[in-house]
Structure 1
Amino acid sequence: MENQFECPECGTVFEEGQTECLECGYKIRNYKLIAVLGYIFSFLFPIVGIFIGFYLHGKQQKNGKYVVVLSLVMLLIILLVPWASDINLNYYYSYN
C-alpha cells in the first residue's frame, strides 16, 4: 500500500503523488526538496537555513524545526571558532 497523507485543509486522506485534494481542491506540495535545500543551506549559509526552517515550520513540516536548530548550531560554530582561536593565539603570544 502506498503512503497516505491527510489534507491540511479538510482532513481527507489522499495517496502520495496526488497534486491536489479531491474534496476541497487544496494544492498539495512536496516539501522534500525544500527540506533538502534547508539542510544544505544550514551548513553553507546558516541564516538562509533559518528562514527556510521557519518557512517549513509554518507549513507544518516536521523538518522545519530540525533545519532551524541545525542552522543555529552552525551559526554558533561559525561565530565561536574564530573567537576561540583568537583567544588561543593571544594566550600563546603573551608567554613567548
Structure 2
Amino acid sequence: MIRVKALPEFSHWLNGVPDAKVKAVVAARVLRLSLGLPGDVAPVGEGVSELRIHFGAGWRVYFVQRGNELIVLLAGGSKKSQAADIRKAKTLAKTLD
C-alpha cells in the first residue's frame, strides 16, 4: 500500500465540498490510488498529475508521487476551475522540494 499524505490545502478543499456523496467518491478514488490502482490519471506538468473523477462536476485531485512510497495530495477542484487548480497545485508542489 502506498502512503498518502494530504496537504492542508487539499484537506481544506475537501472539507469545503458540501456534497457528502462527492466527498465519498473522492475518498474512494484516493483509497484506490493508495492501493496502486490510479485509474484515469494524466500528467499536467512540473511533476504534478491530475486524478480525474468522472462524477458530477468532473472532479479533479492534483498530486505528486515520490517514488513508490508516498503520494502527496496537493489540491482539488472541478472541471470548471481546472486551470486555476492546476496553477495552484504546481505552486504547492514547488514548496515540497
Query: TM-score category by the smaller chain?
Result: under 0.3
Give the number of the structure whose residues are more often helix, by fraction: 1
Between the two structures, name the one with larger relative contact order (CA 8 Å, sep ≥ 6): 2
Structure showing greater radius of gyration is: 1
Using the size of structure 1 for normalisation, the TM-score is 0.26
Give the number of the structure whose residues are more often strand, by fraction: 2
Using the size of structure 2 for normalisation, the TM-score is 0.26
